[in-house]
Amino acid sequence: MSLNKFDHLEWTREPEASVIRRERIEITTRPYTDLWQRTYYHFRNDNAPVLQTETDEKYFSFIVRTDFTGSHHRFDQCGIVMYLDAENWLKASVEYENEQFQHLGSVVTNHGYSDWATTAIPADVKEMWYRFSRREDDYCVECSRDGAEFTQMRVCHMWEGAGKIRFGIYACSPEDSSFTAVFTDMRITECAWKAHDGQQPD
């Protein structure tokens, strides 16, 4: 997949403000914007700004560095996203919680139901790298503090993710807040998530 895919980014809902350059993208969030579907909380939020490109390539990895120094209110977040439609998408981000800790996590939404997998990290972490990899209709999300060593966050299947997909970046502020998220070092590579070697469980 060519890097010039990033010359064809399109908004699914625009943010409060944005700056788009090839080497740097800034997204300023609107208050009360989020992505979530039904599970546990029962409400449905589908108004976060999403900036994506489109591909039918079956095997690739997408890497991006996020800077969320400006996040300051509960649930302020930014990260990677694959938004197919309101009921089928995934995202990974750091969500601000308070001055002590944040949530590094991911949400996978299939057919209108979201899950949420998280781990607590210190509040002084203000940058995170993500690597999003596709192998047909299966996906892997990884994170890194330095952009070199990545740690798996989750592997998942997307029921509507077998054909042409859209993927990219997002930022939102689910409560009464606004901040500016910064995205740099975006690149597309060969799939870094290698095929399973067929080893059976012990």
| Per-residue confidence (pLDDT) for residue 3, from 0 to 100 | 46
| Positive or negative torsion for Cα 164, 17, 14, 68 | positive
| Per-residue confidence (pLDDT) for residue 5, from 0 to 100 | 60
What residue has token string 């299939």? 110
| Per-residue confidence (pLDDT) for residue 198, from 0 to 100 | 73
Domain residue ranges of the chain, discontinuous segments joined by +: 3-189
What residue has token string 């300051």? 72
Centre a 10 Å sphere on the Cβ of residue 50 and count the other Cβ atoms it contains.
25
Supply the CATH classification number for the domain 3-189: 2.60.120.200
Can you give the pLDDT of all 202 residues of the chain as single tens digits?
A: 444 566 689 999 999 999 999 899 999 999 999 999 999 888 899 999 999 999 999 999 999 999 999 999 999 999 999 999 999 999 999 999 999 999 999 999 999 999 999 999 999 999 999 999 999 999 999 999 999 999 999 999 999 999 999 999 999 999 999 999 999 999 999 999 999 877 776 6
Asked if 114 and 201 count as a contact pair (C-beta separation under 8 A), the reply is no
What are the C-alpha distances in Å from 148 to residues 60, 93, 114, 142?
17, 18, 30, 11
Compute φ and ψ for 3, nearest 5 degrees: -65, -20
| Per-residue confidence (pLDDT) for residue 2, from 0 to 100 | 47
What are the C-alpha distances in Å from 85 to residues 13, 25, 114, 160, 185?
12, 23, 13, 9, 26
pTM (two decimals): 0.94
| Per-residue confidence (pLDDT) for residue 40, from 0 to 100 | 84
